[in-house]
Amino acid sequence: MLIYGAGEAGVQTASALAVSRQFVLFGFIDDDRAKIGGTINGLDIMGPEDVESAVERMGITDILLAIPSMDRGGRNAIIGRLRDLPVHVRTLPGMADLASGRTTVHDFQELDVEDLLGRAPVAPNPHLLARNLAGKVVLVTGAGGSIGSELCRQIVLERPCQLVLVEHNEFGLYAIHHELVTLCADHGLEVELLPLLASVGNHGRMREICELYRPATVYHAAAYKHVPLVECNPSEGVMNNVFGTLTAARVAMETGVSLFVLVSTDKAVRPTNVMGATKRVAEMVLQAMSDSPVVAFPIPGEASEQEVSNQTLFAMVRFGNVLGSSGSVVPLFRKQIRLGGPVTVTHKEVTRYFMTIPEAAQLVLQAGAMAHGGDVFVLDMGSPVKIVDLARRMVKLSGLTVRDESNPDGDIEISVTGLRPGEKLYEELLIGNSPGGTEHERIMKAHEDFVPWAKLMPILAEMRQAALDNNQEKMKSLLRTLVQGYAPELAGVPANVVPIESRKAGRV
């Protein structure tokens, strides 16, 4: 092993290595010209330009980054230089844990997702973060999910008086509640945490919760988000994503919630899949409700109509893929590399926008603070990344080589499996053009058309009935009527999966 960093962290790491006897340390690397040529405990300190020859000469297999004080840009530059060397690049755990002996070489970490992306997060604006949170009652739906749980972690740090966790999955609710209790204890936060099992589609239950706790701010993260699964279960996707949002928004209006923020997705833009189309309709529901000073509820066909005066600010925040989420490619690729491959990508040309979960959650909270009503915020996701390039990068940084036609003796094959149901090659963030700026450099404001509530309501009534009847053709026809660019004919269904409505219709 070589240690990159000849400072205090590097010295402490060398001591840990000596105790473990798992690695033979051959030397240090440092960018500081004053240190190069010196020694630490008899081991040479070399410059970055000497690393390639040292790897070959000494048979180095691993390089450990011991540079905790370096900024993201500096780390990315170093990783870029090491990427093509046949070494496994890893990074240190927290220095406090290493120094105390609680962490050993067993805990050396794979490079985190920011290192793989090469994207430097922007520090949050503390005033925007606290604006709708500090001292308030805040409710998060889908609190146990990837985004919902990170929203909860960020929210408790802003010291609301109560945080209401709404989640349909029992274990997900248990896990985030337990984690937040520990987080509050560690930081001395006096936040009342209320874990509540509920479905966002249950109007009575949601109204009971909001009437009892009176949240000032709601973040609606509950949704079905896995594209192929929703493609095979379109009725559930419509009921949860469209009518779950409608129910939650309706209850927010009825109980005087000040701000309601929908977590949306880039897949809502010109979608080829049911999931993206339902998320765009969910956006349109909030746009239409925000545009109407008095909204008639419920949609025709449910019960007697009721008019509700709208005092709630509605906003939507649209962004791309989050790395490290339950459906992210990064943990999948790591597992596949660990098992010897192959690493699977669906198409060589698939590109995606990526962002880390903490950064996405912080930007959602800050965007909501800038809402004026009916806003569609779009997060600056940086440059799109080719999935196959990400796979190659991860293989190389694991100290392995890609097996392909030019290198048939390589370690890990990258296998192309074909696009999944409803999957697009490229995702977009805007339907229209020329987004406006905001007071945050990575948050833009889109200008998207929508259908007024009076015209939208009867279409929603038809869509709800089609979902209840499991009428897939009717649902997709109505989605196409509402959603600009929706092209269900481009979406497929796995050959071994037949939706229940097709079975009912005898079209198996």
Mean pLDDT along residues 271-299: 89
Question: Buried b / exposed e across 107-116, counting CB within 10 Å, b at 16+?
Answer: ebebbebbbb
**Percent of the chain whose predicted confidence (pLDDT) is above 70:** 83
Task: Calculate the average pLDDT of the chain.
Answer: 84
Q: Comparing 70-84, 357-371, 462-476, 490-504, which segment has the lowest mean pLDDT?
A: 490-504
Per annotation, catalytic residue among 35, 267, 279, 396: 267
Secondary structure of residue 282 in the 3-state scheme: helix
Mean pLDDT is highest, among 30-34, 256-260, 399-403, 446-450, for 256-260
428: alpha, beta or left? (left if phi > 0; alpha if psi -120 to 50): beta
Cα distances (angstroms) measured from residue 371 to each of 152, 163, 418: 20, 21, 40
Within 370-442, where are the H helices?
387-397
Mean pLDDT along residues 104-127: 62
pLDDT of residue 110: 59
Contact 368, 315 (CB under 8 A): yes
Within 65-125, where are the H helices?
72-82, 95-100, 113-117
The yes-or-no verdict on residue 496 having pLDDT over 60 is no
> How would residue 184 be classed by pLDDT, with cut points 50, 70 and 90?
very high
> How would residue 508 be classed by pLDDT, with cut points 50, 70 and 90?
very low
Side chain identity at residue 497, one-letter code: V
Mean pLDDT along residues 206-210: 97
10 Å CB burial of residue 69 (0-12, 13-18, 19+) is exposed
Whether the link from the prior residue into 421 is cis, omega within 30° of 0, is no
pLDDT greater at residue 218 or residue 367: 218
DSSP string of 113-126, one letter each residue: HHHHHT-PPPPP-H
Q: Tens digit of pLDDT for each residue in 34-91?
A: 999 999 988 999 999 999 999 999 999 889 888 877 777 788 788 888 888 888 888 8
The yes-or-no verdict on residue 96 having pLDDT over 50 is no
Longest dimension (CA), the chain: 84
Tell me which architecture the domain covering 2-111 has in CATH: 3-Layer(aba) Sandwich (3.40)
DSSP string of 435-495, one letter each residue: PEE-SSTTEEEE------HHHHHHHHHHHHHHHHTT-HHHHHHHHHHHSTT--GGG----T
Angle at 461 (CA atoms; ends 479, 313), nearest 5 degrees = 80
Enter the pTM of the model.
0.74
| Rg (alpha carbons) of the chain, rounded to whole number | 25
The yes-or-no verdict on residue 178 having pLDDT over 60 is yes
Separation between Cα atoms, residue 444 and residue 226, nearest integer Å:
25
pLDDT greater at residue 322 or residue 449: 449
Domain ranges of the chain: 2-111, 124-319+356-380+425-502
**Catalytic site residue 386?**
no
Q: Comparing 108-122, 132-146, 258-272, 452-466, which segment has the lowest mean pLDDT?
A: 108-122
pLDDT of residue 293: 82
Mean pLDDT along residues 432-450: 77
Separation between Cα atoms, residue 31 and residue 485, nearest integer Å:
51
Mean pLDDT along residues 141-155: 94
Q: Tens digit of pLDDT for each residue in 307-341?
A: 888 889 999 998 776 665 555 677 788 889 888 88
The yes-or-no verdict on residue 392 having pLDDT over 50 is yes
Mean pLDDT is highest, among 72-86, 105-119, 132-146, for 132-146
Element holding 43 (H helix, E strand):
strand 43-46
Contact 352, 116 (CB under 8 A): no
The yes-or-no verdict on residue 286 having pLDDT over 70 is yes
Q: Comparing 124-133, 158-167, 170-179, which segment has the lowest mean pLDDT?
A: 124-133
Mean pLDDT along residues 220-243: 94
pLDDT of residue 447: 80
Mean pLDDT along residues 370-398: 82
CATH of 124-319+356-380+425-502, one of 3.90.1490.10, 1.10.357.10, 3.40.50.720, 3.20.20.450: 3.40.50.720
Contact 295, 240 (CB under 8 A): no
Mean pLDDT along residues 153-167: 96
SS (H, E, C) 336-347: HHHCCCCEEECC
Angle at 441 (CA atoms; ends 355, 350), nearest 5 degrees = 30
pLDDT of residue 358: 83
Token pair recorded at residue 112: 């985190």
Identical topology for domains 2-111 and 124-319+356-380+425-502: yes
> How would residue 255 be classed by pLDDT, with cut points 50, 70 and 90?
very high
Q: Tens digit of pLDDT for each residue in 408-422?
A: 888 899 999 887 776
Mean pLDDT along residues 349-378: 84
pLDDT of residue 124: 80
Other C-beta atoms lying within 10 Å of the C-beta of residue 405:
5
The yes-or-no verdict on residue 229 having pLDDT over 50 is yes
pLDDT of residue 342: 92
The yes-or-no verdict on residue 443 having pLDDT over 70 is yes
pLDDT of residue 140: 98
